[in-house]
Amino acid sequence: MTVVGVPKEIKDREGRVALQPDGVHELIHHGHEVVVQSGAGKTAGFSDGEYERAGARLVGSAGEVFGASDLIVKVKEPIPSEYPLFREGHELFTYLHLAADRELTEFLLERKVNSVAYETVEDKDGSLPLLTPMSEVAGRMATQAAAHCLESPQGGAGILMGGVPGTPAARVTIVGGGVVGFEAAKIAVGMRAIVRVLDINPKRLAYLGDVFGGTVDLVVPNRARTASYVAESDVVIGAVLVAGAKAPKLISREMIASMRPGSVAVDVAIDQGGCIETARPTTHSEPTFVEEGVVHYCVANIPGAVARTSTLALTSVTLPYLLKIAARGVEGAAREDGSLLRGLSTLGGELVSAPVARAHEFPLLTPEEALGLKRRVEERKP
């Protein structure tokens, strides 16, 4: 039996919750105990009463959740005020984005927390099942946010995305044609903007061409071509992903400075360090800033603004993996499930994520080596 803890998220305006009441019911059905912090599901539309009726034990503070639990399940990465709540041997299942967060990486290693990052759980076909639903939400919201930021009261150029008859529509350039870029393009096309998607994968562009049927310009970029498109754009959306790794800076300060004043830059990759050189993390409380005359929207937890939709989408895909971890522990579940093996970040004080090790120049053990090493150590014990 594992005690699963669900603390309330405390990142700015983060309304998602890592487990909805029907997930509590499922865990209890499998013989586990669930401890939920009071109010954890409120913003997502789940009352304390719903959690209690599902069988959860409600407690008043995050400290009580962490103190009672073996496995902590969250939405966003722990922030420094939560670090003292962890103890050695805790297991953690959440989004981590460690390649952009050296301090958190060092903490998890020092405290010997066994962690699995949602964003690096990877299926055999290379898909990222726990990242995809939030990428879909973030992509759609990126275009919504850009449209809002273009408005004059927000400091924008006063342009309506789709224009009206007799006026030009906004030009939207999306860098990256993966899940985020695809969803951002859908909304931009729906708003009747002029849309271009840049991606280095010709096969992906061919797929997007089939889907959009000629309504979107699809471009294999190089530096000069990217600079040209950015310069004439009203909106640039950075939608680049290198799984588990720090995002490459593909849009330079010079490119941003070439845009018309009041244009908009949205960096969806900001939680992985950002793909726009002028970007820095913002919050839902203060979502924008102006740099080089361009309004930047760089909120690191975009889906948190639509807490209920995001919670329903996220928990529907995380629950099957959570059940495996609760049943076998992080180590045991990773031994049996290749997707979770690829999602391992830290194990017994060892860093087992290659992209994170490269980002911080830390020593690396592969997940297989870490699991094998632990077995040999246990075999040598008297």
**Amino acid, single-letter form, for residue 333:** A
Q: Give the pLDDT of residue 193.
A: 98
Instruction: Find out whether 268 and 142 touch, Cβ atoms under 8 Å.
Output: yes
Res. 243: pLDDT tops 90: no
pLDDT of 306-325, one tens digit each?
999 999 999 999 999 999 99
The model's pTM is 0.93
Q: Is beta strand 350-351 parallel, antiparallel or unpaired with respect to 171-175?
A: unpaired
CB atoms within 10 A of CB 276: 30
Instruction: Find out whether 18 and 94 touch, Cβ atoms under 8 Å.
Output: yes
Res. 85: pLDDT tops 60: yes
pLDDT of 186-231, one tens digit each?
999 999 999 999 999 999 999 999 999 999 999 999 999 999 999 9
Q: Does 280 count as an annotated binding residue?
A: yes
d(CA 274, CA 280): 7
Sign of CA dihedral 75, 110, 331, 67: negative
Check residue 261 and report its DSSP letter.
T
Q: Where in the chain is the domain with CATH 3.40.50.720?
A: 3-112+306-371, 135-305
d(CA 278, CA 57): 45
Res. 14: pLDDT tops 70: yes
Confidence of residue 372 (pLDDT cuts 50, 70, 90): confident
**55 three-class SS:** coil
d(CA 264, CA 233): 9
- Which H or E element spans position 265? strand 264-267
pLDDT of 37-55, one tens digit each?
999 999 999 999 999 999 9
Confidence of residue 271 (pLDDT cuts 50, 70, 90): very high
Q: Does 268 count as an annotated binding residue?
A: yes
> Mean pLDDT, to the nearest integer, of 343-371?
94
Catalytic residues: 97, 271
Residues written for the chain: 382
CATH superfamily to which 135-305 belongs? NAD(P)-binding Rossmann-like Domain (3.40.50.720)
Q: Does 240 count as an annotated binding residue?
A: yes
**213 three-class SS:** coil
d(CA 337, CA 3): 21
> Mean pLDDT, to the nearest integer, of 243-271?
96
Q: Give the pLDDT of residue 349.
A: 95
Q: Does 24 count as an annotated binding residue?
A: no
| One CATH from 3.30.70.3270, 3.40.50.720, 3.40.470.10, 3.30.457.10 for 3-112+306-371 | 3.40.50.720
Q: Does 76 count as an annotated binding residue?
A: yes
Confidence of residue 275 (pLDDT cuts 50, 70, 90): very high
Spell out the long-range contacts of 363-366 with Cβ–Cβ below 8 A and sequence spacing 24 or more.
none
Q: Give the pLDDT of residue 152.
A: 98
Instruction: Find out whether 91 and 113 touch, Cβ atoms under 8 Å.
Output: yes
Q: Does 79 count as an annotated binding residue?
A: no
Q: Does 204 count as an annotated binding residue?
A: yes
Instruction: Find out whether 371 and 344 touch, Cβ atoms under 8 Å.
Output: no
Q: What is the largest CA-CA distance in the chain?
A: 83
- Helices and strands, counts by H and E, the chain: 13, 15
Q: Give the pLDDT of residue 380.
A: 39
d(CA 352, CA 371): 10
CB atoms within 10 A of CB 79: 15
